[in-house]
């Protein structure tokens, strides 16, 4: 078992690059270590489970224990003529896993290339990009219950996946540690998802295959999103709000150019980036905090911003959007 470190700076463990300290910090490499650690510390509530730190904003020092999950491994557990089911441990890097699937010609997650973070966090917010979400290929996951310290299995329905959400981010928040996930990936012939116009345009004369899709997505993402190794950020800070049709109609009278896309059950999704740009936050900053020049939905740390600076800035965006549009933005990033 790795050593428990005290008063530990987690600057290198969060992609906002915020220099906050955790009272205690431990990296865990195996399921047995995790179970032993949690058995020894039964009842301790202030434990935070950390993956790649790419979807979390530490607004202040963490006065508890951060358990960094670094459990590695993957294996194919079922194979038919059409599909495989692969089990991947929580501490595997997501993008490296996507690259492995492409190298082996397994389809289904190529549109999720270059999403930072680890496999264990992927179900938490049902990661998604370019028309594909984790739930599209998800089979099940193994989780450790914080209450009983027992391993349980959750199938897809039990995870209650939704847009950037799941049971683990809503009613069962902090109650389970994801140990591994099982995904059903396709063997040839693949069905490709090119529903995003910006992606489709690139394939007018180019062969469509898994690696070409992944390459194009990587190019688009690199042109639109800041590299967390260079500029601190957590990707989209807010979810795209979903509003009912009556509210949309009212807003369209005032803002005829308001972009909107049909969502489920007669609701409409509005791009939060458009709202943020419209209220003038593209040019706003607070010390080292601002929005990314190519994508106003991404809040960036341009240097030495603190977590509370970022939170203050995010809250002022939220307040302005509510005042101007009567729309409540909801954070996609987990605020601690
Ligand atoms: C540049 C950039 C682009 C991004 N683009 C996208 C995108 O296109 N689509 C998208 O969906 N997201 C995107 N994200 C957000 C982020 O990459 C994903 O949400 C990712 O899944 C987070 O993984 P992580 O390991 O870094 O999680 P962390 O930030 O470490 O944790 C996130 C949350 O999950 C919990 N958690 C982590 N691991 C476990 C576990 N094993 N068991 C239980 N709880 C756990 C944590 O406690 C925390 O609440 C982007 C982020 C960045 C920086």
Q: Which of 197, 224, 251 is at the close of a domain?
A: 224
Q: Do residues 148 and 48 share a domain?
A: no
- What pLDDT does residue 197 have? 85
CA of 288 relative to ligand 1 center, distance in Å: 23
Helices (H) and strands (E) in the chain, counts: 8, 20
65 in the same domain as 103: no
pLDDT: which is higher, 127 or 203: 127
Strongest mean pLDDT among 35-44, 139-148, 191-200 = 139-148
What atom of ligand 1 comes closest to residue 15's alpha carbon?
53
First to last CA, the chain: 26
| Whole-number Cα distances in Å, 329 to 147, 241, 297, 314 | 32, 6, 11, 10
Catalytic residues: 164, 236, 332
Backbone dihedral angles phi then psi of residue 156, each to the nearest 5 degrees:
-60, -45
Q: How far is the CA of 206 from the centre of ligand 1 (A)?
A: 32
Q: How far apart are CA 132 and CA 327, in angstroms?
A: 26
Closest ligand 1 atom, residue 164 Cα: 11
State the chain's mean pLDDT as an integer. Answer: 95
Q: What is the pLDDT of residue 1?
A: 65
Cis preceding linkage at 189, omega within 30: yes
Calculate how far, in angstroms, residue 174's C-alpha sits from the geometric centre of ligand 1. 14
Regarding pTM above 0.85, the answer is yes
Is residue 305 located within the same domain as residue 257? yes
pLDDT tens profile 179-229: 999 999 999 888 999 988 889 888 887 889 999 999 999 999 999 999 999
**Residue 165 CB–ligand 1 contact under 6 Å:** no
Same domain, 204 and 278: no
> Does residue 297 line the site of ligand 1, with CB under 6 A?
no
Owning domain of residue 323: 232-335
Mind giving me the DSSP string for 193-234?
Answer: ---SHHHHGGGSSS---HHHHHHHHHHHHHHHS--TTTSEEE
Nearest-atom index, ligand 1, CA of 116: 17
Q: Is 232 in the pocket of ligand 1 (CB under 6 A)?
A: no
Q: Does residue 42 register a pLDDT over 90?
A: no
pLDDT at position 243 over 80: yes
Pairing of strands 176-186, 83-89: antiparallel
Ligand 1, atom 11: nearest CA belongs to which residue?
Answer: 127
Q: Please indicate whether residue 15, judged by its CB atom, sits closer than 6 Å to ligand 1.
A: yes
The arithmetic mean of pLDDT across residues 21-37, rounded, is 96
Residue 123 Cβ contacting ligand 1 at under 6 Å: no
Q: How far is C-alpha 91 from the chain's CA centre?
A: 15
Which residues make beta-bridge pairs with 186?
A: 83, 107
- The CATH number that applies at residue 100 is 3.30.465.10
Looking up residue 298, the CATH number of its domain turns out to be 3.90.78.10
Of the three residues 224, 247, 279, the one that is the final residue of a domain is: 224
């Amino acid at each position: 078992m790795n050593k428990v470190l005290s008063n530990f700076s987690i600057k290198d463990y969060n992609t906002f690059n915020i220099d906050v300290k955790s009272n205690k910090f431990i990296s865990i490499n195996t399921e047995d270590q995790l179970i032993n650690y949690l058995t020894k510390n039964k009842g301790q509530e202030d434990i935070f489970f950390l993956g790649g730190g790419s979807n979390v904003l530490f607004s202040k020092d963490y006065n508890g224990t951060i358990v960094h999950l670094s459990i590695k491994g993957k294996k194919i557990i079922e194979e038919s003529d059409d599909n495989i089911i692969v089990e991947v441990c929580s501490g595997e890097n997501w993008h490296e896993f996507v690259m492995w699937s492409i190298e082996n010609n397994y389809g289904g997650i190529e549109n999720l290339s270059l999403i930072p973070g680890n496999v264990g966090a992927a179900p938490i917010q049902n990661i998604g990009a370019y028309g594909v979400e984790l739930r599209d290929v998800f089979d099940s996951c193994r989780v450790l219950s914080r209450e009983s310290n027992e391993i349980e299995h959750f199938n897809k329905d039990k995870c209650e996946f939704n847009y950037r959400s799941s049971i683990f981010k809503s009613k069962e928040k902090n109650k389970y540690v994801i140990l591994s996930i099982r995904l059903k990936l396709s063997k040839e012939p693949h069905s490709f998802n090119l529903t995003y116009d910006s992606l489709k345009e690139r394939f007018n004369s180019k062969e469509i295959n898994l690696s070409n899709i992944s390459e194009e997505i990587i190019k688009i993402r690199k042109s639109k999103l800041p590299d967390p190794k260079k500029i601190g950020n957590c990707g989209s800070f807010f979810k795209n709000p979903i509003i009912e049709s009556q509210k949309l109609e009212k807003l369209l009278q005032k803002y005829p150019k308001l972009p909107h896309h049909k969502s489920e059950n007669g609701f409409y999704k509005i791009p939060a980036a458009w709202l943020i740009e419209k209220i003038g936050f593209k040019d706003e900053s607070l010390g080292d905090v601002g929005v990314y020049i190519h994508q106003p939905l991404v809040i960036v740390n341009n240097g030495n911003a603190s977590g509370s600076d970022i939170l203050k800035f995010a809250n002022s965006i939220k307040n302005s959007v509510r005042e101007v549009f009567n729309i409540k933005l909801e954070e996609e990033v987990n605020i601690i």
